[in-house]
């Protein structure tokens, strides 16, 4: 849903989001970010289908589009809140080289071997 410019803009603000989360202050921070984002990257005007779904109310359709964009911004930041590895795959051992520890036999197994 983002363009390169939007992704760069969001990525530039990611460290301050992490700081706000650490200080338990993310809600006011996000409220300001929503407005900054929408000022820099305005939402598209609603199409006729969206206006019809909103009961013919253009303002209601615009608000629905803004709400959806705010959800996208929220989840973009939330999914990137923890710093971590850039790779999506973790290294795995291909062969189990370590031997399994032997266990003592169960009582019925010891009895069966008598």
Predicted confidence (pLDDT) per residue in 79-112, tens digit? 887 776 565 555 555 666 777 778 899 999 999 9
- In a domain? residue 71: yes
Mean pLDDT for 59-72 is 89
- In a domain? residue 89: no
- In a domain? residue 32: yes
Mean pLDDT for 23-27 is 82
**Residue 46 reports pLDDT greater than 60:** yes
Closest CA to 66 of 52, 47, 46, 51: 46
- In a domain? residue 47: yes
d(CA 41, CA 66): 11
- In a domain? residue 84: no
- Which residue range(s) make up the domain with 44? 4-79
- In a domain? residue 113: no
Question: What distance lies between CA 56 and its chain's CA centroid?
Answer: 33
- In a domain? residue 106: no
- How many structural domains is the chain composed of? 1
Residue 57: the pLDDT is 84
């Amino acid at each position: 849903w983002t363009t390169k410019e939007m992704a760069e803009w969001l990525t530039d603000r990611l460290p301050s989001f992490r700081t706000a989360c650490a200080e338990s202050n993310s809600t006011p921070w996000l409220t300001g970010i929503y407005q900054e984002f929408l000022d820099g990257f305005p939402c598209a005007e609603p199409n006729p289908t969206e206006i019809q779904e909103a009961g013919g109310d253009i303002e209601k359709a615009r608000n629905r589009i803004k709400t959806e964009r705010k959800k996208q911004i929220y989840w973009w930041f939330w999914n990137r809140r923890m710093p971590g590895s850039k790779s999506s795959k973790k290294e795995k051992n291909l062969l189990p080289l370590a031997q399994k520890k032997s266990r003592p036999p169960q009582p019925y197994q010891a009895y069966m071997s008598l």
